[in-house]
């Protein structure tokens, strides 16, 4: 197959491997996005599937099925040739300063979940794609999807707070309540003897 196409942010990109020597069957989606389109939010850091900076949302119809699904993927690992007929959304597509920001983008900024910004696009697209298929996740579920995306700046807490703000309100409330109960159980008021970490008697 030397001719195929992929849709990125609503625009169809025809690809002809015979006519364009800069694109090969090995070209990754991340490379294509960054060199053949005007979109630069998608970052490449490790280029081996370990950091999630390159995460985009991929929509496709799985083999044998008729209903399309949307998944977050590491675009540095996805070879263009395997994406024939599929649809990609990047961070710019779901929100930007011209059309208005997406609630995930807004919340990440409001909660100070972005510093250098290198991971931010991937974080946003990870949650965005996940919510397409799982619109009512629990706080635990949104916490667990974070395990493939790394951030070297923020310490994760504000990113996690952003993710959990999109969990179902009931379960988010339950999570907050259980968290404060745990805190109350382990943190005694200042000045009082604290329990020993070994589980033994309190420190003098
Ligand atoms: S650049 Fe690190 S997972 Fe793609
Ligand atoms: S904000 Fe810098 S890597 Fe996450």
pLDDT value of position 127:
97
With respect to residue 202, please indicate whether it lies within any of the assigned structural domains.
no
Ligand 1 nearest-atom number relative to CA 76: 4
Split at pLDDT 50, 70, 90, the class of 155 is: confident
Best residue for ligand 2 mutational test, from 51, 53, 54, 152 (most atoms within 8 Å of Cβ): 152
Q: In the structure encoding, which two tokens stand for residue 107, read together?
A: 């919340």
The residue nearest atom 4 of ligand 2, judged by CA position, is: 151
With respect to residue 197, please indicate whether it lies within any of the assigned structural domains.
no
Which strands, in side-by-side order, build the sheet including 55-60? 11-16, 3-8, 87-89, 55-60, 69-74
With respect to residue 78, please indicate whether it lies within any of the assigned structural domains.
yes
Triad 19, 41, 18: Cα angle to 5°: 5
Give the span between the Cα atoms of 43 and 39, in whole angstroms.
10
Decide if pLDDT at 158 tops 70. yes
Helices (H), 11-82: 29-36
Q: What are phi and psi of 65, to 5 degrees?
A: -120, 170
With respect to residue 11, please indicate whether it lies within any of the assigned structural domains.
yes
**CATH number for the domain that contains residue 150:** 3.10.20.30
With respect to residue 193, please indicate whether it lies within any of the assigned structural domains.
no
The residue nearest atom 2 of ligand 2, judged by CA position, is: 116
Contact between 181 and 174 (Cβ < 8 Å): no
Kindly write down the DSSP assignment for every residue of 110-166, as one continuous string. HTT--SS-TTHHHHHHHHHHHHHH-SS--HHHHHHGGGG---SSS-SHHHHHHHHTT
Count of structural domains, the chain? 1
Q: In the structure encoding, which two tokens stand for residue 61, read together?
A: 């119809």
- State in Å: Cα 76 to ligand 2 middle: 18
Decide if pLDDT at 200 tops 50. no
User: What is the number of H-type helices and E-type strands within the chain?
Assistant: 7, 5
Tens of pLDDT along 54-86? Answer: 999 999 999 999 999 999 999 999 999 999 999
Decide if pLDDT at 160 tops 70. yes
Split at pLDDT 50, 70, 90, the class of 168 is: confident
The residue nearest atom 3 of ligand 1, judged by CA position, is: 49
With respect to residue 59, please indicate whether it lies within any of the assigned structural domains.
yes
Output b/e per residue, 167-181; b: 16+ Cβ within 10 A: bbeebbeebeeeeee
Split at pLDDT 50, 70, 90, the class of 21 is: confident
Ligand 2 nearest-atom number relative to CA 117: 1
Mean pLDDT of the chain: 87
Cβ < 6 Å from ligand 2: which residues? 114-120, 151-154
Tens of pLDDT along 170-198? Answer: 554 554 565 566 555 555 555 555 444 44
With respect to residue 38, please indicate whether it lies within any of the assigned structural domains.
yes
Of 70, 97, 74, 91, nearest to 149 (Cα)?
74
Within its chain, how far is the Cα of 11 from the centroid? 22
Q: What domain range includes position 135?
A: 3-186
With respect to residue 65, please indicate whether it lies within any of the assigned structural domains.
yes
Ligand nearest to the CA of 113: 2
**What mean pLDDT do residues 102-115 have?**
96
Q: Which of 30-39, 73-82, 85-94, 162-171 bottoms out in mean pLDDT, i.e. has the lowest?
A: 162-171
Residues of the chain with pLDDT > 90, as a percent, come to 73
Give the span between the Cα atoms of 152 and 201, in whole angstroms.
38
pLDDT value of position 178:
57
């Amino acid at each position: 197959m030397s001719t195929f196409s992929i849709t990125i942010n609503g625009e169809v990109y025809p690809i002809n491997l015979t006519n364009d020597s800069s694109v090969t069957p090995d070209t990754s989606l991340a490379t294509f996005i960054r060199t053949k389109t005007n979109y630069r939010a998608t970052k490449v850091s490790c280029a081996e599937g370990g950091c999630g900076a390159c995460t985009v949302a991929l929509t496709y119809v799985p083999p044998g099925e008729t209903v399309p699904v949307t998944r977050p993927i590491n675009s540095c690992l996805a070879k263009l040739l395997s994406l024939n007929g599929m649809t990609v959304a990047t961070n710019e597509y779901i929100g930007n300063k011209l059309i208005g920001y997406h609630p995930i983008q807004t919340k990440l900024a409001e909660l100070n979940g972005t510093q250098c910004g290198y991971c931010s696009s991937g974080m946003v697209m990870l949650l965005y794609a996940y919510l397409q298929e799982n619109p009512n996740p629990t706080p635990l579920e949104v916490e667990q999807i974070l395990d493939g995306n790394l951030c070297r700046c923020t310490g994760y807490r504000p990113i996690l707070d952003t993710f959990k703000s999109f969990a179902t309100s009931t379960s988010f409330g339950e999570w907050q309540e259980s968290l404060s109960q745990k805190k109350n159980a382990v943190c005694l008021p200042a000045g009082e003897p604290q329990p020993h970490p070994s589980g033994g008697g309190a420190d003098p």
